[in-house]
Amino acid sequence: MNSKKNAPLWQQLLLTAQALADVQRGQSATQVLEKISSPSRPGVQSLLFHVLRRLGLAQTLLKKLAKQSPQKPVEALLCTALALACDQNALMYPPHTLVSQAVDAAKKTRLLKNSAPFINACLRRFLREQDSLLKDVQTSELAQWNHPQWWIHQLKKDYPTQWPDILLANNSPAPMTMRVNTKRISVMDLQKNWMDAGMTATLVGDAGLVLKQPLAVHLIPGFLDGLCSVQDWGAQKAATLLKEQLHQKPIKKWRILDACAAPGGKTAHLLEVMDCEVIALDIDDRRCLKINENLDRLGLQATVLAADAQKTEAWWDRKLFDAILLDAPCSASGIVRRHPDIRWLRRESDIAALALQQLRMLESLWPLLSPGGLLLFCTCSVFHAEGQDVVQAFLTHNTQAAILPSPGHLIPNIAGARGEVQDNAISDHDGFFYALLQKTD
């Protein structure tokens, strides 16, 4: 692992603990990792993600080991060490090495130096009593599932039989899936190129290739040349769903709005599979730059606007759209495998506020759609409140909208459930929700 080459373990543990403390103060892991020097960043990210996936267990163990809650920097270092030491099936370092290096990290840090004996005592006790401590904490759902209690409760409500599988999937790293730019190369040809380079990839969907071993993108043959992009298979369904429906209508060139487009993956995919004109919106200027960068790399063109999708009077040219893709802001509860900090950053009250925002965006964009046009509403959430409940609320108050056959909630590795909006899982992908709406004439 890079951490062994770039810095001693005690320093990696210290950086990871500091990153964990920042996440617990409300910063995203992405923001936190950007502040870490490039040589140390890969190693710290690996350790941090491992810790975040076991943080509930580490926190519960710490309550058994310490009579009083330690100060936040001490707690972060202890949780880091405990999370790395408690999973015997996925040990990154020998437990005694972790303990000694964590204590060294405390001794070498002014803020933690006086707490080094306490840290040593807690961790040494864990090593002595590990089996009994781990058995004791398994009565805690926080320790067992490593998600906040409200999150577990919500999944139990939405998925009475499937919730354990969702939580288990969330605690495992996601596969690295690429989308082939079929305007430039066929899926089979790129797969063969990779095979010749010693890479193994499995076909998924129409244009997806799942790498057996994740790689930095600059090391993937064809990436820098615009032959492929990183995109989960679940996210690739957006362009496919619109293409399947739009191609049933006799229009030469589709006019499509991607209403929340950054970083541009779905915009690019639309342009790769259809003859269309795309207007890509995002409220953030900097994220619009990312859209343009991705389009340039792929050799594609779209009109990119920095604008608030809901304030249509500020950017809309009064020409109706044949299709609108609304990938609405959400809790991101479906991509926890890729971003394990999300579960610890979200609050229960966020869900209702986000669902209301999603409904308002639907209502704002609907008038921009031509008669017979399509609006694909999607979120990367597994919570029903941010998927089927929003759609049902919209349909209840809009007699011009009809729902077409739609995937509904996509759940990783779980068979579909029956319902008006079907749940359907086919492969190993992120959690998503899709509802395809049509404006009646």
Strand partners, 258: 280, 325
Residues 324-343 as b or e (16 or more Cβ within 10 Å = b): bbbbbbbbbbbbbbbbbbbb
In sequence order, which residues have a C-beta less than 8 Å from that of residue 110 and are 6 or more positions away? none
Known catalytic membership, residue 228:
no
Q: Could you give phi then psi for residue 315, rounded to 5 degrees?
A: -135, -20
Helix 41-52 with 55-65: angle, nearest 10 deg = 70
Select from 177, 165, 137 the least CA-distant residue to 54: 137
CA distance 2 to 44: 9
Greatest pairwise CA separation for the chain in angstroms: 75
- Quote the distance between the C-alpha of residue 385 and its chain's center: 18
Helix (H) or strand (E) holding 398: none
Whether residue 340 is preceded by a cis peptide bond, meaning omega within 30 degrees of 0, is no
Q: Which one of the listed residues 79, 86, 330, 380 is annotated catalytic?
A: 380
Residues 81-98 as b or e (16 or more Cβ within 10 Å = b): bbbbbbeeeeebbebeeb
Where are the extended beta strands (E) located within 332-400?
A: 369-379
321-327 and 369-379 beta bridge pairing: parallel
Select from 39, 22, 40 the least CA-distant residue to 31: 22
CA distance 302 to 323: 15
Q: How far apart are the first and last CA of the chain?
A: 59
Catalytic site positions? 380
